[in-house]
Structure 1
Amino acid sequence: MDDPNYKEVPQLIAKLRSAEHNGDEADELRHQIIAQCMPLSEHISRRFSGRGEQIDDLRQVALIGLIHAVDRFNPEVGDDFLAFAVPTIMGEVRRHFRDTRWAVRVPRRLQEVHLAIGDATADLAQRLGREPTSQELASALDITVEQLEQGRLAGSAFSAQSVDATRGPGDDSQPLLETVGEPDIHFEQFENHEALRAALDGLPARERSIIVMRFFGNKTQAQIAEHLNISQMHVSRLLAKTLRQLRVRMGGE
């Protein structure tokens, strides 16, 4: 994903808020912010491709989520627009799937939890200045951590795919039916994902924030250092140490 200068977005949004009395100036500034952040919504829309929805539709939905993020972001509360915008956009895409397809019967309560996770994550990330832990999310939603994980897993019930559908875009791609019985690497990916989540939750707040900003927020070490008010050398040492800890906690994978 291209990484526009999201660091200046909070300042632009603050300027937008002060210019809202001037319609033309506000409209121009709002369009500028949205255009600058569109690579983010594009990236998220691609993450949801392959679930039975047209990519153009997903792009439109993700763009709506981006617009909501720009309109809702409060620069007086926090200065990390990326941490707020990502779950906001993903929440909008998830709502789209909820309204168009639940291939497997999922209890209404789990549907609601699944959809609430995005907004709660965005709000907590802005207030805390980092990604919230599972425990913090569960507390904010007034549910248990187990219910939170069930809500996260509910997303796998969004869509079903015909066995006659091809696995790829090419004309010579195999129908899904012909591949039944192949080893499914997604099980291993899921296990790795859950192991990583647990390992991240066990990190101290600062180290977890560094990992999230570096690998999920695409921030450079210099940007992280400035955000945390420490030296880039210190960030580099903490990053290397934390990655070693994660490898150990995940069984050396």
Structure 2
Amino acid sequence: MYMATSESSLRTDGIELLHLYHQNPSIKLRNKLVQLHTGLVRKMAHKFSHQCNEPYEDLEQIGYFGLIRAIERFDPSQGYAFSSFAVPYIRGEMLHFLRDRSTLLKIPRRWQELYNEGQKIRKDLAMSLGRQPKDAEIASHLRVSVQEWQEN
């Protein structure tokens, strides 16, 4: 088996597990999903670890809380990528941790405002649309690019 097949099968397994979890949540399935998506947490922890004095390992652990929240709230029937849904949850947990814990990291006011406004818009759109909004929909309401929203 070569790498492309392996990556493709992991992605398929992940989608199937997300559907199974959505239908019948269990700790065992959730833990498998966490294992499949550790890369999202590690990437974000790595990014933040260069911007503050908190240890990478602490950031990674906090990021898993965000990943678990995303797994629990994700609706796979909406047809969008889990990673796009999960990244703001992971980033949000890390930002909350850093804000509570560290005065050494100064989060730009623009990022704080964008994040807070984005969370309000996410909630409002979820109610009006009857589903979790896509990043593009949130970015559009914020009048920023999807990339700027996702990097926030």
- In the superposition, the TM-score normalised over structure 1's length comes to 0.43
2:20 aligns with one of 8, 15, 18:
15
Q: Is the 8 A contact 2:21 2:29 kept in 1?
A: yes
State the SS of the aligned residue for 1:53: coil
Structure-2 change in CA distance of 1:67 and 1:48 (3 Å): same
Larger proportion of helix:
2
Distance 1:78 1:35 in 2: 22
Shift of 1:95: 1.4
Shift of 1:119: 7.9
Q: Percent identity?
A: 24
**Deviations, residues 148-197 of structure 1 (Å, cap 9, x unaligned):** 7xxxxxxxxxxxxxxxxxxxxxxxxxxxxxxxxxxxxxxxxxxxxxxxx5
Q: Is the 8 A contact 1:65 1:90 kept in 2?
A: yes
- Paired AA for residue 101 in structure 1: S
Q: Is the 8 A contact 1:91 1:118 kept in 2?
A: no
The corresponding residue for 1:238 is: none
Shift of 1:135: 5.4
Unmatched 5+ residue regions in structure 1? Answer: 21-25, 139-144, 149-196, 202-211, 217-253
**Deviations, residues 56-111 of structure 1 (Å, cap 9, x unaligned):** 1101111111111111111132341111011221111111122123455977x974
Number of aligned residue pairs: 135
Distance 2:48 2:111 in 1: 20
Structure number with bigger Rg: 1
Distance 2:97 2:66 in 1: 10
Distance 2:141 2:17 in 1: 29
The corresponding residue for 1:95 is: 96
The corresponding residue for 1:132 is: 136
Distance 1:43 1:34 in 2: 14
Q: Which one is further off, 29-38 or 97-106? A: 97-106
The corresponding residue for 2:4 is: none
Structure-2 change in CA distance of 1:46 and 1:27 (3 Å): same
Over the aligned positions, Cα root-mean-square deviation in angstroms equals: 3.9
Unmatched 5+ residue regions in structure 2? Answer: 1-6, 127-131
Distance 2:67 2:107 in 1: 29
